Structure 1
Amino acid sequence: MAMETSLEAPAPVRQIANAIAGWVDRLGVVWVEGQIAQLSRRPGLNTVFMTLRDTHADISISVTCPRTLFDGLNPPVVEGASVVIQAKPSFYAVRGTLSLQAREIRMVGLGELLARIERRRQLLAAEGLFSLELKRRLPFLPHTVGLVTSPGSDAERDVIENARRRWPSVQVKVAAARMQGQNSPLEVTAALQRLDADPEVEVIVIARGGGSVEDLLPFSDEGLVRAVHQARTPVVSAIGHEADQPLLDLVADLRASTPTDAARRVVPDMAEESQRIAQARQRIRASMRGWLDREQSGLTAIRSRPAMADPRNLLDDRADEVDQLRERARRSVRHRLDRAEDEITHHAARATALSPLATLRRGYAVLQGADGHVLTSVDGVDPGDSVSVRVADGRIHATTTSIETTTPVVDVDTEEADA
């Protein structure tokens, strides 16, 4: 029932807000279709906030969804997805906002299509078909490039013209296949296998211009993805534009944003490579020139040294040193000889002074009996005995005629020693 209000008796805001909340709460559960225009997952909250927009009119409404329900969706809901939501209308009286409380979310139309592709992507990824370890490097300068595309298409012209503009001698083998329609996956797979079996083809490009999601569905076909995975030749995917990403982009060895970009990524630019070679040649020459200059400077420095300028200077210096050492050796030997001579002379003088011959030269003599023993006393000698007298320069043989005894001379030094 309508509320009774007037200018004299207006209703407070809370009453109006609570009344609106009551009226909205009487609405039952509804199914609503739209597109996710905005998605917000705030940390720490158990509620996910979304904005659902009408696909044909500029009208939108807020939607709240429990986090458990949102996280359980496979594939997950993303912005731009078309969905059908079972929800209960709710009016938040505190802020005066109307929203839908989601109870179930289902993909429809394009959203359902994208959901199937996402599930297929997850299954193939679980098998390892998209692993980075399987990606092969493209040849630096392929002689022959295989191209899978629609005959006479803009993609074919872009790839061939850009490839030959960059490297005129490159050869392009085209394997025609329909790039759209129900039979497109089979034809593309067959064309890929033909080029893969050709030993001259070094890299394969699968190219198609842009299109809608439905137009690019053949390039998310499981059979085509597995054929690319099993190919022995590196494969480059050039499907659609930058924003498009079919499953072929994930399994290919290289993804190009456009067919023109594929030609640039596959074939090097002759002008750029020539410039790089010229720059490398200049760097090598500069390096060699610098090295030769350093070595020449080293040789010049070595040749400028006195020893290298006139090697005889070193010989003269060494000859002077040898002469000095020889003179020092001679002086040392001469000094040693003089000292030895003096020492020998001294010892000879002492030996001469202590020799009995020196005593004999002073007038003394040695008397020996006939048996040769030295006579130191008259005892034992009789007159008539033969004796021998030893003097400084010879020996005298004599016969004793008489014997005279004298008083012995006392040795003063001996007496003092005895005392």
Structure 2
Amino acid sequence: MLRFLLSGDPLYLRLMSTYRLFELNTFIRRFVALNLPAPVWVQAEVAEVDERRGHYYLALMEKTEDGQEIAAQAKAVIWSRTANKWQRTNKLLLKDLLQAGREVHLQVQVSFHERFGLQLQVQDLDANYTLGVMAQQRQRTIDELMAAGLLQANKMLRLAMVPQRLAVISSPAAAGWQDFMAQLRDNPYGYDFEVQLFPAAVQGTQASPEIRRQLRTIERRRDSFDAVVIIRGGGARMDLADFDEKELCFAAAQMTLPIISGIGHETDQSIMDMVAHTALKTPTAAANFLIDRLHYLDQQLAGAKQTIAQQTKQLVQRKAFELASLGEQLKFQQKQLLQKEAWKLEQYAQQLPMMVRRRLHEATAQLEQLQQLHQLLSVEGQLKRGFALLSVGDEIIRTGSQLAQHEEVTLHLKDGTTTLHTTPQTKKK
């Protein structure tokens, strides 16, 4: 329990109708000093942090269970001497650990000053607690990304064979940006890249909102780019925590352009690296990846060109051989055909006289038959066979009506002609 004790009468302040502010603050200072003489451990969330001349000025807070309101807040300070000692002992930088939104476990000496009010002077900081909370938050983010099917989503996107139109998110003042551009510009193959910088903070409390804003801008212009490149320069291991931030990782996972990250360290991996299509350790490595991808395609094309040239040469040689072979075959076949036709001509020459004689004999026989037929069918032939022919002049009488029209007709017989006179009776007949 707190002890209520002041020098003099403890009812002193109660009995006064009014009192001076200095007197009230003096009472509070003595009260705090008496009841909290030793440092205590406090859990809180860092709301703000400001480093000046090696001193760290913190705004601490605790939210309600639903996280909607602030339940308590206080100011704290880590003096430069304490900060330097802590950093030497723990091999960590306070500026990397003390970031807005992080949970901290602090050992503080509670003090109250008549002029400056209540202040928590930090004596020690439990880095393992903060790192543990960060690790828990990191794992929760990974689990939520996996549950939403987004952890591998960007990796499933197709990266262009020749990714030359690049949207780069980085700080224009970062050494990583300069290294990246120098590597692309001075590549030994002379490849050209179209690079547009979308400036953003790549560490600190502004990293997540600024990078998310630029991701939204790039997404609206996605048809203008082949890939998004997120790079940062060198930094402490704790700097990677900015790329574990939940909202940032979800925003990156839902991009429709492949993301190439160059933000990590040799042994560490951020969630952004896990979400990205391709994760490289440094900006220079990211640039080399892009250069090597183009060079690989270049080599493939050169190999294909050489293969096509070789196959074309082989095809030409093969077709030339086939053509020569066909030419020889054609000559042979032509010779055979000429010999065959010459033999046929020789055979025809031998057979032609006999065929002509036979044809003439057949034609003569046919002619004789036609002559005999002609003689049989001629008027003379008919008369010789015993038939008679009546005519009037050159007109042959074929019917009785014709005969009735004439009084004299000529009768043709085998041995001559005679004239006949027709009578009415004859006409009647």
TM-score normalised by structure 2 residue count: 0.46
Larger of the two Rg values belongs to structure = 1
TM-score normalised by structure 1 residue count: 0.47
